[in-house]
Amino acid sequence: MHPSRLASLLVIIAAAGLFLLAGCTSAVREAPPATADSRLQSQVQALEAAGDFQSAAAAYLQAAEQAAAPLKQEYLLSGADRLIRAGDYERAEAIIAGISAPGLPEAQRQHYDVSQARLDLIRHRPEQALERLQAVPAGGPYQADYHRLRAEAYLLENNYLSSARERIALDGLLSDPQQKLENQFATWEALTRLSDAELQDMRLAPPPDVLSGWLELVELTRLYLQQPQALGDVIPHWQTRYPGHPASGDFITRLRENLETAIQPQQIAILLPLSGALAEAATAIRDGILAAYYDTSDGSQRPVLRIYDVGANPADAVARYQQAVADGARFVIGPLRKEEVQALLQQEQLPVPVLTLNQVDTSGDVKPSVYQFGLAPEDEAREVARRAWQDGHRRAITLVPQGGWGERVEAAFADEWSKLGGSLIDHPVYDPGETDHSQVISATLNLDASKARQASLVRVTGQQLEFEPRRRQDVDFIFLLATPEQARLIRPQLSFFRAQRVPVYSTSHVYSGRPDQSRDADLNGLLFCDSPWTLGSGSDLRELKQDIGERRPENADINGRFYALGVDAYRIIPHLGRFGGSLFGSYHGVTGNLMLDARQQVHRTLTWAQFRNGLPYVLEAGTETATDTGTPAPRE
């Protein structure tokens, strides 16, 4: 190439290189600064990492003031979400209520529905939450929220199987290991509330079906709960049957760790009034404890049991506690009477943990060494309120016996019913010593007022009129607190006074615990809650009942609920310190599904049944009930 042409070409290449370099430099120098939205998101993430959701909400709401639609609505919704996480539900509700939903873009409309559903669940409105979530596509940007909120809604409705199904669907959408583990804990928690029969009946698909795997794992754990080493031997077989199951990783490891470290104390004292008025109930509780004690297969792991008769004086219970501690007790079960429990709670120091067999009001400081457990009728009244609300009822009448027992149970029902948003339109009482309750029932159903209106018309017109008294129409159901004898009188009288189609709910006190088809025919249609011991049929129950029946054949049915209290009192001791944790947020016992509150009182969730053709039929969790007929139906 000619030197002059070569020089010219080099100049051109150099110039081009300078131009490209200048362009690159300009691109670096002129990169747009961080947008306002990205700065906001960074700020919010930092605040959330510090747990300051109020400030995160304030940041979004301040940005919303400067933004135009549709970004304004997105900031408002995001701010409301943070207020919900901060527990400021009133402000969150007000902000969301101020957003016009019809004009929102599709993605924001989904965000709106998810936020509303979250508030519905906080307000204990699972039906509304599920209805809102129907508009949220399962495969859209909020699909994780969709499944999580549906799982929570179904759990509130006691539809445990559907809740678990939603959790299983959510598992595949989560990438964070901790979130996956927490979701698996929630799956486990839902399924542990199912009865033994339900665990078996709902396992329809063969391995390696994920849901069947969960159901079988819960069943195996329940079967080997008192034999954790044996459970460790069968887990590998379960893993072979369900390869790649979500529970096979960290969850199984945590499960086995929890069970294998659940050891009974070396010596347990039992304080019971084995002489006096409560001797029969106390003897049944003792026999239940002993049945659970000998149900442990490995005798080398059984603690030493020492039984103390506390008599009838509350002071004796304190003295027996002190004696038991001196004798080497590392845990105490009992006492039984409320007065004795109160006397123990008044002690300044209780060096050995206690599981009492009754509950008292603990308005003062909680003693960390005292757990309270019992067959509290107040728990059952709250259970009635939740079930009636779940069944769609909103207006209630209570009918309870005169006296302190009726007052306490009615107050517990009314408190729970009010929290749910229900209306208590009347709360009459009846005399439990009488057999004719027509006056109370007629007045409660406003039949007296109906008759008075007819009499007034006769006076005005001077003519006899054809007349049929009409009961009040503003009641959805009746909560009846009664013994079997009282209920067999009251239920027919309710029907006589034209309330045969008004659903009637009751507690376990309405059922003797022994099928009596001819005498209980008058209770047809009535719904009641009771313990798995009374209504269940699992293999574990059969073995325990057989053992107790052999010990006390003359009163095994009559005192069944006290036997069950003894069984659970012994079995839950190793798990008391873990209640509220992910794996043992509840314990499936023979007295019910047991949960521990912040005041260390154990509460029960029970099984539901309905009288049909004079016999109780167990209702599966989450099923709707036909409460206006007494038509016989197969076991559900």
The answer, yes or no, to whether residue 322 has pLDDT greater than 90, is yes
Unique residue bearing structure tokens 């306490």: 408
198-213 mean pLDDT: 90
In terms of residues, how long is the chain? 636
Pick from 252, 253, 267, 217: nearest CA to 238:
217
Cβ neighbours, 10 Å, residue 595:
16
> What are the tens digits of pLDDT across the range 545-584?
877 777 666 666 678 899 999 999 999 998 887 665 545 5
pLDDT digits (tens, 9 = 90+) for 138-168: 788 999 999 999 999 999 888 999 999 999 9
Cβ atoms within 10 A of the Cβ of 89, count?
Answer: 15
Neighbouring residues of 619: CB distance < 8 A, sequence distance ≥ 6: 527, 607, 608, 609, 610, 625, 636
What pLDDT score was predicted for residue 538?
67
Sort 118 into a burial class: Cβ within 10 Å, 0-12 / 13-18 / 19+: buried
- For 294: left if phi > 0, alpha if psi spans -120 to 50, otherwise beta; the answer is alpha
Token reading at 558:
């009559």
Residue range 265-311, pLDDT digits in tens: 999 999 999 988 899 999 999 999 999 998 875 665 789 999 999 98
Element (H, E) at 542: helix 539-551
Tell me what the pLDDT averaged over the chain comes to.
84
What is the pLDDT confidence band of residue 585, given thresholds at 50, 70 and 90? low
Closest to 320 (Cα-Cα) out of 330, 338, 334: 334
Nearest CA to 430 out of 485, 482, 501, 368 is that of 482
| pLDDT for residue 332 is more than 90 | yes
What's the pLDDT at 467? 42
**51 or 623, which is more confident:** 51
pLDDT in tens, 411-447: 999 999 998 889 999 999 999 999 999 889 988 887 5
What integer pLDDT is reported at residue 453 of this predicted model?
46
* Structure letter (DSSP) for residue 248: G
Residue extent(s) of CATH 3.40.50.2300 domains in the chain: 267-375+539-587
Where does the pLDDT of residue 450 fall: very low under 50, low under 70, confident under 90, or very high at 90 and above?
very low
Answer whether 337's CB lies under 8 Å from 273's CB. Answer: yes
Q: What is the mean pLDDT of residues 332-346?
A: 93
Which of the residue ranges 36-45, 56-65, 190-199 has the most confident prediction, judged by mean pLDDT?
56-65
Q: Are 317 and 332 in contact (CB under 8 A)?
A: no
Check if the beta carbon of residue 585 is closer than 8 Å to that of residue 124.
Answer: no
Tokens of 407: 């007052």
| Sign of the C-alpha dihedral computed for residues 269, 275, 278 and 282 taken in this order | positive
pLDDT value at residue 454? 42
Residue 365, pLDDT above cutoff 70: yes
Q: What is the mean pLDDT of residues 9-21?
A: 36
Confidence of residue 225 (pLDDT cuts 50, 70, 90): confident
How many CA within 13 A on the CB side of residue 231? 22
Nearest CA-CA partner of 379 in 526, 591, 581:
591
Strand runs (DSSP E) across 437-581, as ranges? 477-480, 504-506, 527-530
Distance CA 607, CA 198 (A): 12
- Closest alpha carbon to 168 in 114, 253, 250, 247: 247
Work out the pLDDT band at 536, boundaries 50, 70, 90: confident
Answer yes or no: pTM beyond 0.75. Answer: yes
* 260 or 425, greater pLDDT: 425
Cα gap 104→82, rounded to integer Å: 20
Superfamily of domain 267-375+539-587, CATH level 4: Response regulator (3.40.50.2300)
Tokens at 418, concatenated: 């009010």
**484-512 pLDDT per residue, tens:** 999 999 999 998 887 888 999 999 999 99
Contact 360, 338 (CB under 8 A): yes
Using an 8 Å Cβ cutoff, are 604 and 500 in contact? no
Question: Could you read off the pLDDT of 169-190 as tens digits, one per residue?
Answer: 999 999 999 999 999 999 998 9
